[in-house]
Structure 1
Amino acid sequence: MRFCLERITLKLNPIYRSILLGLYGGTVLAALAPAALAQTAASATPSASTTADNGIQSVSIVGSRRVGNTSATDTVVPVDTIPMTKVAEQSGQFDLAQVLANVSPSFNSTRQTGADGADLIDSAALRGLGSDQTLVLVNGKRRHTVALVNLFGARNRGNTGTDMNAIPVLAIQNVQVLRDGAAAQYGSDAIAGVIDVELKKSLGCESVAGFGEYSRHDGKNWLASAYCGVALGGGVLGITGEYYDRGRSNRADPDSPRIIGDTKSKNQTVYLNGEFPLGPGKLYLTAGAQQRDASSAAWARGGVGSDDIPSRNSAAMYPDGFVPFINGDIDDRYGTIGYRTRIGEWASDFSQTYGYNRMRYDISHTLNASIANLDLLQGGQGVSQDNFRAGGFAFRQLTSNADFSRYYDGVLGNGLNTAFGFEYRAENYQIFAGEPNSYIDADGIGFGGNPGSQGFPGFQPADATDKNRHSAAAYLDLEADLTDRAKLQGAVRHERYSDFGSTTTWKLAGSYKLTNDFLLRASSSTGFRAPSLQQVYFSSTFTDFVAGVPTDVKLAPNGGAVANAAGIPKLHEEKSKSYTLGATWTPTRNLSFTADLYHIEIDGRIVLSGRFDADNYPALGATLQSLGVDQAQFFVNSVDTRTQGLDLTASHKMDLGGGKLNTYLAMNFSKTDVTAVHAPSSLAGYEDVLLSERERLFIEQGGPRSKATLDFDYTLGRLETDFRIIHYGPQTLGTFDGPPVPDQHYEAKTSADLSFTWAFTDRTKLTVGGTNIFNVHPTTQDPNETDNGFKYESVQFGLNGAAYFARLSHKF
């Protein structure tokens, strides 16, 4: 019975497999995803819960502190494991964020265009919340966020987040997803859930080569990736190298000077992951580095006859207009070294983790119009340099952990696991100024040409910052097997930050098997998210286009002169309450159903405010005039939100025509509402500016409120065919002009992917196929009202249309 159930669940959506398998505790989650090979439970067991000869646990299971023989599904809340084997070999997606977006209905990541730095790093989020409300771990250890703050684009505005694409897919054994609030277990950022990326450390070598392009023959993707696990010092060291070249695509109208589509990006990545016996315990290490050279097309500037001369262009340089390019040199590094051993009856784990992310801007095919205008006034041709080093920013994080766990057999029924630990985290955020010509106003404030490099003005010395903070935390985690059918888990965590004080969170969760075929589980928890250093200290002056009109905007740092003049208080943590209720039913061996409800309330959510200017807030007029800008905005704890969601799935397995057909349907319904806006006393009466209708809709409907995946996977001999239908629900976004101008409504859309895999041998496979094969696009909008100034916004599945790919994999 158990073996049959395991085989059934191999093709169940990863979000729900853990609920079903939890009916039969101790079963190791094997493989199910529309892009994952079905594997037997026996073959999956070593990677999911490996115990060394000396009894030291090798792999942490996200959501549980229990060690020993615990499986990935022996937890009281869903822990979903998405194997990457088939993804690495056969998927039409070449980067991790797009892979997960294609597999999980509750995971969203949409490539942005016309969003400056957000074009260069894809942000990702769970359960309808922001990207900085999902905690990402690597091998159970906290991974750093990026230095970038998303300022534009439909998704994750005002958020930082984790760059999932900095990790090569071939380096990954599986991705574990804890779909429950877990701040009491893991600390800040875990309001929406936790994603744990487990890296490979198995013997053997494999390689993948891939190519893809859109149906318009642009956006060409080239992938070359290799992994090799070698025996070393009695253990295994896994080494992965990857080169990924993504070409630029362009969906702008033929007569438009703009470029709208994917950024150009070249990634060079190396990752190491190993574990080695040392004395009475095991030494483990992870190290990774990625160098990314990316290029995004900014808004076009007009030529002769337009209002952009001399304010934003020079007739001598670009008489027909031009498109500036925002080029990002992104350096990402990650490393962990740790030691697991036993101290008496306690399993212990000591580790040090390092994370670093830096982005430097180089703006090309551009000019500083004020320099060009000054040159013209002085008798020159009216030119400036066309390339500028515009500065950038960096974020560094050091995390020290000491974790202890012990299982007491027979306590509180069938056994009690007790865990406690300590964490110390130090963070640093820097903004470094660009070269003077990237920001100066050479011909005088308010006269002639505008200052700075067009496309992205350089960071000024006044923007430069170098700020530090640290935090210390202690937690206690208890997990009890009350009976053969009932489990209970509780956790409490106290965390103190050097910059805003302390917070205490808790969690209580449990599960109960009503029958062998029906399981109920539920949880209740509080959570928090500390304001990121990026949100506290980011400072920049940039040009935005509002309904096609260029506007100079100051994003003022918290505690700075502009924020103080507006009465913006010091940022503090977001606080949350989370509730979940799940159930699963397996009426037959080949058919199963699951459901999961969640409710999340967040108080004091940190948002990027609307734009304040001399008209809508006269008290700021003189300050803005002295800075030579039109508008200002800030980060502020001013919004309360409520997110409610439902996940449903049905899975079926059958023999058909001599082959195997696995079918599954997975759906996510999620709704986020702003329940209150709390303006600082100085801004009382300006709530509509603080959070405009447009900004409110970005929070509530930045991602689709529903998403469904229907997958048919059929294997006959050496041929495997996968047909996947992905349905995206409607979205509504605001407009620049607001009422009475109607909101932008995006109709529900359905995309389809199709692939064919031929196994020449058990080691060599070729996959060919297409994504979005019916060339579906988002609903057309008025370009004057969209955030990217184009008729297609970067929503749902993006705006590029159909794509085709081929991928060849070989194991040595």
Structure 2
Amino acid sequence: MKHLITLLTILFIQSSLYAQNITVNGNVSDQSGEPLPGVVIYEKGNQAHGTTTNFDGNFEFEVESTSTLVIRFVGYKTQEISATTSLIKINLEEDATELEAVEIVGSRSQNRTVTETPVAIDVINLEEVTAATGQLDMNQLLQYVAPSFNANRQSGADGADHVDPATLRGLGPDQTLVLINGKRRHQSSLINLYGTRGRGNTGTDLNAIPMSSIERIEILRDGASAQYGSDAIAGVINIVLKKNTDGVNVNVGTGVTSEGDGATGNVDVNYGTKLGDNGGFVNVTGQYQYRGRTNRVPEGQETFRNYIGDALAEGYGAFVNAALPVSENTEVYAFGGYNYRHGESYAWTREADDDRNVPEIYPNGFDPNIISDITDFSISTGVKTKWNDWKIDLNNTFGHNEFKYNVNNTLNASMGINSPTSFYAGKHYLSQNVTGVDVSKFYDGFLNGLNVAFGSEFRIDTYGIGAGEEASYTNYSEDGSIPGGSQGFPGFRPENVVNAHRTNVALYLDLETDITEKWMVAVAGRYENYSDFGSTFNGKIATRYEVSKALAFRGSFSTGFRAPSLAQKYYSSTFTDVEGGVTIDKVIAPNDSELAQALGIPELKQEKALNASFGFTANPLDGLSITVDGYYVKIDDRIVLTGAFTSDDPDIGDELEAMNVGAAQFFTNALNTQTYGVDVVVAYTHNWDLHTITTSLAGNFNHMELGEINTNEKLEGKEDIYFGEREQMFLLASAPKSKFNFSVNHNYKKFSSMIRLNRYSEVELMDWDGNIDHYAPRVTTDVAVTYALSQKLNWTLGGNNIFNVYPSKQDPLSTESGGYYDAVQMGFNGAYFYTKLGIKF
């Protein structure tokens, strides 16, 4: 750490080196001659050293006399020119042909840039961000660059140890829609049942997409059900894949925590080349990643767990993005990939004298090892064409995600000394196929421009559960008094097996018009019909008014809808849970099961949402930008996982005892929620000789209120079990009430550096004893230094949380994880140091 700080100090005070410096200045405009503010200009081979154009499209900064300048702006062709002292005039052309025009998520108009949209959108350039960060996976990366995004690794949460539950604005993981190149991405088949985040929700496995295959990530921080689909209540994350054709890029990295564990390693290779002579391309990415275990078991204190921390994860994958023009007006395209990930996580310890142990097999007790093998693949193909100025995109996208579970270092206690020590515990899987057509046309003669877009989608969803081997779930004892099934993760049973299907038909209309040069209005409507939940119609209106080039106001109002996922509707299992150190077998029964009906659990229905936002963007000074966006999200009939109804319940107690389980849980529409918040982003760039200093402050304030618990006559008096205070506090802690990132980036010649402060507000959870666990606010510090050895080789040293900050300690016998900390704020691994090498061929 001392060496990193020394490097940063040297970097800020070093004097001129190497080649002679020159001042370059010029102006950037579009093809019609209109100035383009916010265009990025940087030295080729040293992307960290550059500047942006001001309101009038002008720029000025110092570079080395031998430099090549790269001029890049979303929606336009990238240009390269040699550095010169002469005044530079640059006219940017729209990206490739009209078929290739860039569409920003949140607007289907290809004549609008991200700064002109009426809703809040973050555009994250992956090459810039990954150059100065040590995160290997996308969830952890977004956790630090997007303040309204939250993801924490779980421990002892079975499948959730291997797929981080992620939230946007503190809402559910299944309330954010993920797109790739504007096409719907399938979700994970995992439904989160344990841990502190995303209980009862499914989500999308972002880590299945290699980061080196991504050009940028667009985060639409606004309800978008009327535009993109019924599960876009919290917003949309659109992942735009690379289509560069400039050869091979290789990145190699490794790191380790300050405790000497959690070692990481990654190798990724990206290759792009032209396909044909008319603008076609193929871009291929391969990736290997490894992450070792961490262990943060409390020292010198009795605990029911010998291992608490990150699971082991090892995986590889590949992604392809390609397009080929077949005529002047038509091109075919395809993208997709494959990812395999092997994970291992320890369950709670079974002590030597535990009735779930066989001392002859494990005389000192044992730690069950839950193994997950996750397979994820997708393929999207389509054709774009132009007919009478109408742009038409016909597409089919298929995706599949599958979890297979094995458990080793375990046993089935009811089999005694004859028990195996490893079992196949079954699987769950999800498939999705979407066929859609999108049509759009821009009318420049209507007012100041009108974009018309409409289209349709037909979706087929499939969800299934496969049983494990017989010994993984069977109790072989005569009276059931000895626990059966594989310890740590009992296998799925034949009665859990399901292969469910659903279809969905959607129609949408999206209109955007510039009423005047300063005022634009957008309206959208979407009709959807589910084969199992009926129909819904959602609408949205958004507007933006530009007071001047330095100030604009924007706002939106929309409705939303989300049908219960197939997993929420059909998932069932018998599993082992640990409550304050006490091991108990539980069952999760389908919402429409006889057990649910006997208790009075209401039939699942859709979630309904209302979104509103209002904010402004300001550029009061050259290089300074400010955005502030307030939001309100009301969700009725929110789907959650209930608390545990135990065997002493008069309605289902006898049934639970007959099943040899101690409690049951269900998916249900338990309550209404209201979320209020503000997103703030302030960035300032200053050029001084060859120095470029960029400072940014990004923050999110988030407050959720819970309505009354939705019960009926049969559940009256059971509200504290149905969805009690403990479960409510987990929901409220889906995101800190505030999170801030303050960063300073400094670039000078071949050096660039970054220092970032991350501030997390207080978090409160209720432990198993009914006490409130207070996690005090925390600030962590990240640093990184990069040196460009040449235009084709750069080296990075860095550290995250370099001062080894941990959350507030709690009583480990009462927390959800069994350790000092639950999965809150920045996690509990402490400091992490890394190095990376980037190579271009």
TM-score by length of 2: 0.89
- Structure 1 residues 607 and 274: CA distance shift in structure 2, 3 A: same
Q: Which residue of 2 aligns with 1:748?
A: 777
Contact 1:352 1:401 in 2 (8 A): yes
Alignment counterpart, residue 247 of structure 1, candidates 289, 292, 306: 292
Q: Give the Cα separation in 1 of the matches to 2:27 and 2:232.
A: 33
Give secondary structure in 1 for the equivalent of 2:116: coil
Alignment counterpart, residue 462 of structure 1, candidates 495, 501, 505: 495
Alignment size in residue pairs: 772
Give secondary structure in 2 for the equivalent of 1:564: helix
- Structure 1 residues 42 and 704: CA distance shift in structure 2, 3 A: closer
Q: How far does the alpha carbon of each residue in 1:279-299 deviate from its partner, in whole angstroms, 9 at most, with x for none?
A: 331111012000111111110
Equivalences for 1:386-785 in 2 at 5 Å? Answer: 386-411=421-446, 413-447=447-481, 449-615=482-648, 617-655=649-687, 659-738=691-770, 742-785=771-814
Alignment counterpart, residue 332 of structure 1, candidates 376, 379, 390: 376
Q: How far does the alpha carbon of each residue in 1:193-251 deviate from its partner, in whole angstroms, 9 at most, with x for none?
A: 00000001110210000001101111110100000012224411111000001111111
Q: Which residue of 2 aligns with 1:353?
A: 397
Contact 2:286 2:318 in 1 (8 A): yes
Alignment counterpart, residue 92 of structure 1, candidates 120, 127, 134: 134
Alignment counterpart, residue 216 of structure 2, candidates 174, 177, 180: 174
Deviation at 1:58, TM superposition (A): 5.0
Alignment counterpart, residue 283 of structure 2, candidates 238, 252, 262: 238
Alignment counterpart, residue 218 of structure 1, candidates 258, 261, 264: 261
Q: Which residue of 2 aligns with 1:317?
A: 361
With 768-777 and 729-738 compared, the bigger mean Cα shift is at 729-738
Give secondary structure in 2 for the equivalent of 1:66: coil
Contact 1:423 1:473 in 2 (8 A): yes
Q: Do residues 158 (structure 1) and 200 (structure 2) align?
A: yes
Q: How far does the alpha carbon of each residue in 1:498-541 deviate from its partner, in whole angstroms, 9 at most, with x for none?
A: 01111110000000012221110000000011110011011011
Give secondary structure in 2 for the equivalent of 1:689: helix
Contact 1:342 1:348 in 2 (8 A): yes
Contact 2:39 2:73 in 1 (8 A): no
Contact 2:37 2:53 in 1 (8 A): no
Q: Which residue of 2 aligns with 1:14?
A: none
Q: Give the Cα separation in 2 of the matches to 1:321 and 1:160.
A: 34
Kindly provide the amino acid, as one letter, of the partner of residue 283 in structure 2: G
Q: Which residue of 2 aligns with 1:802?
A: 831
Contact 2:503 2:531 in 1 (8 A): yes
Q: Do residues 46 (structure 1) and 77 (structure 2) align?
A: yes
Q: Give the Cα separation in 2 of the matches to 1:580 and 1:283.
A: 38
Deviation at 1:172, TM superposition (A): 0.3
Alignment counterpart, residue 148 of structure 2, candidates 98, 106, 129: 106
- Structure 1 residues 134 and 441: CA distance shift in structure 2, 3 A: same
Give secondary structure in 2 for the equivalent of 1:45: coil
Deviation at 1:768, TM superposition (A): 0.5
- Structure 1 residues 76 and 65: CA distance shift in structure 2, 3 A: same
- Structure 1 residues 565 and 445: CA distance shift in structure 2, 3 A: farther
Alignment counterpart, residue 312 of structure 2, candidates 251, 259, 264: 264
Q: How far does the alpha carbon of each residue in 1:134-177 deviate from its partner, in whole angstroms, 9 at most, with x for none?
A: 10000000001000000111111111000110011100000011
Deviation at 1:340, TM superposition (A): 0.6
Deviation at 1:638, TM superposition (A): 1.9
Contact 2:778 2:805 in 1 (8 A): yes
Q: RMSD of the alignment, in Å? A: 2.3
- Structure 1 residues 93 and 268: CA distance shift in structure 2, 3 A: same
Give secondary structure in 2 for the equivalent of 1:688: helix
Equivalences for 1:51-200 in 2 at 5 Å? Answer: 55-67=98-110, 69-200=111-242
Give secondary structure in 2 for the equivalent of 1:618: coil
Deviation at 1:753, TM superposition (A): 0.4
Q: Which residue of 2 aligns with 1:295?
A: 344
Q: Give the Cα separation in 2 of the matches to 1:7 and 1:89.
A: 21
Deviation at 1:278, TM superposition (A): 1.9
Q: Give the Cα separation in 2 of the matches to 1:26 and 1:159.
A: 46
Q: Do residues 789 (structure 1) and 818 (structure 2) align?
A: yes
Contact 2:464 2:499 in 1 (8 A): yes
Q: Give the Cα separation in 2 of the matches to 1:47 and 1:189.
A: 35
TM-score by length of 1: 0.92
- Structure 1 residues 85 and 533: CA distance shift in structure 2, 3 A: same
Deviation at 1:53, TM superposition (A): 5.8
Q: Which runs of 5+ in 2 are unaligned?
A: 1-25, 29-34, 43-51, 59-68, 80-91
- Structure 1 residues 157 and 500: CA distance shift in structure 2, 3 A: same
Contact 1:47 1:173 in 2 (8 A): no
Q: How far does the alpha carbon of each residue in 1:51-107 deviate from its partner, in whole angstroms, 9 at most, with x for none?
A: 67653235432111123x433333221222100112344421111111111111111
Deviation at 1:716, TM superposition (A): 1.7
Q: How far does the alpha carbon of each residue in 1:588-647 deviate from its partner, in whole angstroms, 9 at most, with x for none?
A: 2133332110000000000101111233x3101111112111100100012100010011
Deviation at 1:47, TM superposition (A): 7.5
Q: Which residue of 2 aligns with 1:283?
A: 332
- Structure 1 residues 144 and 6: CA distance shift in structure 2, 3 A: same
With 249-258 and 785-794 compared, the bigger mean Cα shift is at 249-258
Deviation at 1:25, TM superposition (A): 12
Contact 2:758 2:781 in 1 (8 A): yes
Q: Give the Cα separation in 2 of the matches to 1:80 and 1:26.
A: 22
Give secondary structure in 1 for the equivalent of 2:112: coil
Contact 2:75 2:101 in 1 (8 A): no
Q: How far does the alpha carbon of each residue in 1:706-736 deviate from its partner, in whole angstroms, 9 at most, with x for none?
A: 1001101111221111000000011111122
Kindly provide the amino acid, as one letter, of the partner of residue 351 in structure 1: N
Contact 1:26 1:74 in 2 (8 A): no
- Structure 1 residues 240 and 717: CA distance shift in structure 2, 3 A: same
Q: How far does the alpha carbon of each residue in 1:405-455 deviate from its partner, in whole angstroms, 9 at most, with x for none?
A: 1112222x21111111101100110100000000000113432x2010000
